[in-house]
């Protein structure tokens, strides 16, 4: 090895050592959960999003926004999209899946609480149509009608579809805990109930409502 090569290698090694020392000197150790203090970015928390709305706005929002179920069905004349601008909520602002907030009373005909996606089959007072009316009782909930009917929450406020989906799950968790858990589902068959809930337009043969309020009369 020449003297020149030896000196070059020493210089390279010294520069590498200085780089490592500088890197360690400029590293900031951040405790878990305190990343936002350094980056200024608030960590996404879907539970907080759902809980804040539930505690502050849910009761008044859904009560004021609910349309009588039978009135909605009769007025739609088989075409719910005709009432989108009057009563409906699209999942993507002015497009996407169409959902409605409805209210009514009825009698529980069948209890399916052993299924993962459990439901109460309901005979709604005044309804004479052929569609099966079901109230979701979980623990697995289909769709995202509750989230999609809340105008104060927009998909534009979230980074991606994963976060947007997590908000829906957080609402379902709250519904399970706050609305459904206090009710003994095993004794619900034949009971009269009053409900407020949300459903997404889908198959004409079935209307699947996620309750945001459910009272046994």
Looking at the structure, tell me whether residues 207 and 193 fall in a common domain: yes
Give the chain's domain count: 2
Kindly state the tokens that stand for 65.
């926004």
Looking at the structure, tell me whether residues 67 and 95 fall in a common domain: yes
DSSP H helix total and E strand total for the chain: 8, 7
- pLDDT, one tens digit per residue, over 74-121 is 999 999 999 999 999 999 888 999 999 999 999 999 999 999 999 999
pLDDT, position 93: 85
Kindly state the tokens that stand for 216.
């046994």
Looking at the structure, tell me whether residues 127 and 203 fall in a common domain: yes
Looking at the structure, tell me whether residues 16 and 62 fall in a common domain: no
Looking at the structure, tell me whether residues 22 and 97 fall in a common domain: no
- Lowest-pLDDT range of 28-42, 90-104, 127-141: 28-42
Looking at the structure, tell me whether residues 51 and 16 fall in a common domain: no
Looking at the structure, tell me whether residues 57 and 5 fall in a common domain: no
pLDDT, position 43: 85
Q: Is the pLDDT of residue 23 over 60?
A: no
Looking at the structure, tell me whether residues 162 and 212 fall in a common domain: yes
Distance set, CA 80 to CA 8, 83, 85, 100, 198 (Å): 78, 6, 10, 9, 14
How buried is 114 (Cβ within 10 angstroms: 0-12 exposed, 13-18 middle, 19+ buried)? Answer: exposed
Instruction: Enter the pTM of the model.
Output: 0.81
Mean pLDDT of 152-165: 92
What is the domain range of residue 13? 1-41
Of the candidates 108, 87, 77, 84, the residue with the CA atom closest to the CA atom of residue 211: 108
Looking at the structure, tell me whether residues 6 and 93 fall in a common domain: no
Looking at the structure, tell me whether residues 33 and 111 fall in a common domain: no
How far, in Å, CA of 209 to CA of 165, rounded?
Answer: 18
Q: Residue 63 maps to which CATH number?
A: 2.40.50.420
């Amino acid at each position: 090895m020449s003297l020149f090569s030896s000196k070059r290698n020493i210089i390279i090694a010294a520069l590498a050592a200085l780089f490592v020392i500088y890197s360690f000197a400029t590293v900031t150790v951040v405790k878990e959960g305190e990343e936002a203090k350094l980056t200024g970015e608030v960590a996404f928390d879907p539970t907080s999003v759902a809980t804040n709305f539930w505690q502050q706005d849910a009761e008044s929002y859904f009560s004021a926004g609910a349309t009588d179920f039978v009135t909605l069905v009769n007025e739609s004349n088989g075409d719910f999209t005709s009432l989108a601008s009057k009563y409906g909520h699209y999942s993507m602002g002015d497009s996407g899946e169409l959902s409605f907030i409805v209210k009514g009373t009825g009698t529980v005909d069948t209890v399916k609480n052993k299924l993962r996606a459990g439901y109460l089959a309901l005979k709604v007072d005044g309804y004479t149509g052929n569609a099966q009316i079901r109230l979701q009782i979980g623990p697995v909930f289909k769709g995202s009608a509750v989230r999609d009917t809340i105008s104060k929450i927009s998909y534009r406020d979230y980074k991606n579809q994963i976060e947007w989906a997590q908000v829906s799950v957080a609402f379902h968790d709250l519904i399970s805990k706050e609305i459904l858990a206090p009710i003994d589902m095993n004794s619900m068959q034949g009971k009269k109930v009053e409900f407020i809930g949300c459903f997404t337009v889908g198959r004409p043969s079935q209307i699947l409502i996620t309750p945001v309020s459910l009272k046994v009369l």
